[in-house]
Amino acid sequence: MSIKKNLTVLLAGASALASSMVYSAQEVNVYSYRQPFLIEPMMKEFTAETGIKVNILFAKKGLIERIKREGKLSTADLMLTSDFSRLTMFTEDGLAQPVNSDVLSKNIPAQYQGAEKQWFALTTRARSIYSSVERVGPAPNVTYQDLASPAFKGKVCMRSGKHPYNVSLLASIIAHEGEAKAKTWLEGLKANLARKPQGNDRAQVKAVKEGLCDYALTNSYYLGKMLNDPKQVSWAEAVHINFPNQATTGTHVNVSGVALTKYSPNKENAIKLMEFLSDDVAQKMYAEINYEYPVKENVQASKLVASWGKFKADDIKLSDVAAQHKAAIKLMDEVKFDL
């Protein structure tokens, strides 16, 4: 073989090796409040389809504060949250950047996008009212407003009012009815509690089973989790799940979601992952693994979740709810809800 041909072969081989190295070096860094068992299967699927490696940093708290400290040196590309309030905090702190993507705009309904496309919902879950099978039965006409009525005195259990799920619900009520009416409702709800706010959502269902209260304010997906936990299935079987406000505004839905960080070092790859999480494969995985409702309209809920029945969700824009987030926290403090 001539020297020229040898050189050509060597150059071709070097080019192929370089391309391979670039491909294998492709990555995206995710800071996640969502638990590993839920998101890791999706990330593996994304890597299999694209060759882009996903690095995940998981924590129950402190990730937003960490990105603040890291500033422009942060390696984070995406923030995954398990609730709407953290998405709101993340964007209000100036840590996100807008994403203009035809795929995201097509897959995710407008009410589940940030006002400036700085965050996108990936799943929804209903803020449901669970009723005792033994003492109440199904309550299909129940409303959030009922929880503050005299008839519910001493019958309601719920977790801390400052928890993001409850802050989001209160913010939606402010958005619909104004601060004055929302405060009156919150005071009535506090007066009706069977005990001081405590525990997590599942603990409220357990309290219903134990007869401490007749109603629990709890996210819908926890019913699926309890039904598939041998230690908690008896709690789940002691309640009916009800979707409030079906004759009025519809049931409040909270969301899990994603935001692109302001200083994302792998922006192109990060947007590809955002688009993947909004599309059919990942949306179906969300539905099956964690009993959540997909945001993409043509993706069906799991059979178990579908068995709970269809419901009308509140279609208020979540950006309008986000605008009342600080007001909701202020009201919680004013009425000393957790005390």
Q: What domains can be seen in the chain, in order of their start residue? A: 25-123+253-301 (3.40.190.10), 125-252+314-334 (3.40.190.10)
pLDDT at 25: 61
Q: Which of 85, 91, 138, 144 is nearest to 260 (CA)?
A: 91
pTM: 0.85
* Residue 85 contacts residue 223 (beta carbons within 8 Å): no
pLDDT digits (tens, 9 = 90+) for 276-312: 999 999 999 988 988 999 999 999 999 999 999 999 9
Handedness of CA 113, 51, 35, 309 (dihedral sign): positive
- The mean pLDDT value for 180-203 works out to 98
pLDDT in tens, 315-330: 998 889 988 989 999 9
CA-wise closest residue to 258 among 111, 65, 82:
82
pLDDT at residue number 282: 95
pLDDT at position 23: 37
- For residues 259-296, b (16+ Cβ closer than 10 Å) or e, as one string? bbbbbbbbeebbbbbbbbbbbeebbbbbbbebbbbbbb
- Average pLDDT score over residue span 242-270: 97
Q: Which two tokens stand for residue 314?
A: 């509140």
DSSP output for 4-54: HHHHHHHHHHHHHHHHHHHHHH-EEEEEESS-HHHHHHHHHHHHHHH--EE
Q: What is the SS3 assignment for 242?
A: strand
| Sequence letter at residue 201 | D
Q: Is the pLDDT of residue 4 over 80?
A: no
95 pLDDT above the threshold of 70: yes
Residue whose token pair is 């693994």: 289
